[in-house]
């Protein structure tokens, strides 16, 4: 009787631990991560990367934290009557054996309330929280992109014909 119970308990333990191994967060790969370098006056920035899922199960990113911003959120862009707007999303799902690109105009990690200006080359640390509660730590750099808001403002001033 005792032995039978032990065997049953052991088999239950095995059954329970298997899915945990399959959903190992090591299955998530982060490729080409960077944050957008912004002018000193900017309050916010964004971080971008490609998420690759090497497992048989979808992986959800459910939260993000960063050392450079007071608030960090998962965002996407939507088209609303011809205008691009940002919207917070509850999670970003990476399909099994698939990828999701966090890129300008789409999903991104929103860095809200920068602790200091992000200059090109500045280090940024981001922790992603996954659906199973595990964390994925990412070290990246701020990078100059072609979409600095200040430059657009200046261009506009020199081209009154364009509106
Ligand atoms: Cu955003």
Contacts for 20 with CB less than 8 Å, ≥ 6 apart: 132
Rounded distance from Cα 77 to ligand 1 centre (Å) = 7
pLDDT of res. 18: 47
Rounded distance from Cα 46 to ligand 1 centre (Å) = 7
Average pLDDT, the chain: 83
Whether residue 159 is predicted with pLDDT greater than 90 in this model: the reply is: no
Whether residue 132 is predicted with pLDDT greater than 90 in this model: the reply is: yes
The β-bridge relationship of strands 28-36 and 135-143 is parallel
Residue 145 binned pLDDT confidence (cut-offs 50, 70, 90): confident
Rounded distance from Cα 35 to ligand 1 centre (Å) = 12
pLDDT of res. 150: 43
- What average pLDDT score do residues 122-146 get? 95
Q: Got the DSSP string for 4-22? A: HHHHHHHHHHHHHHHHHHH
Rounded distance from Cα 36 to ligand 1 centre (Å) = 12
Whether residue 142 is predicted with pLDDT greater than 80 in this model: the reply is: yes
Rounded distance from Cα 88 to ligand 1 centre (Å) = 7
First to last CA, the chain: 84
Q: Which of 25, 93, 34 is nearest to 68 (CA)?
A: 34
Rounded distance from Cα 59 to ligand 1 centre (Å) = 21
Whether residue 65 is predicted with pLDDT greater than 50 in this model: the reply is: yes
Write down all domains in the chain, each with its CATH number in brackets: 35-145 (2.60.40.1890)
């Amino acid at each position: 009787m005792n032995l039978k119970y032990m065997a049953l308990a052991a088999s239950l333990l095995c059954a329970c631990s298997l899915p945990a191994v399959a959903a190992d967060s090591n299955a998530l790969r982060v490729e080409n991560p960077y944050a957008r370098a912004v002018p000193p006056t900017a309050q916010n920035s964004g971080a971008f990367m490609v998420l690759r899922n090497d497992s048989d199960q979808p992986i959800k990113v459910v939260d993000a934290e960063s050392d450079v911003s007071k608030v960090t959120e998962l965002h996407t862009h939507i088209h609303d009557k011809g205008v691009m707007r940002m919207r917070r999303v509850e999670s970003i799902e990476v399909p099994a054996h698939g990828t999701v690109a966090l890129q300008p105009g789409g999903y991104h990690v929103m860095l809200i309330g920068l602790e200091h200006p992000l200059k090109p080359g500045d280090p940024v640390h981001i922790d992603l929280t996954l659906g199973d509660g595990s964390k994925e730590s990412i070290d990246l750099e701020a990078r100059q992109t072609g979409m600095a808001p200040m430059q657009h403002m200046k261009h506009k001033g020199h081209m009154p014909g364009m509106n």
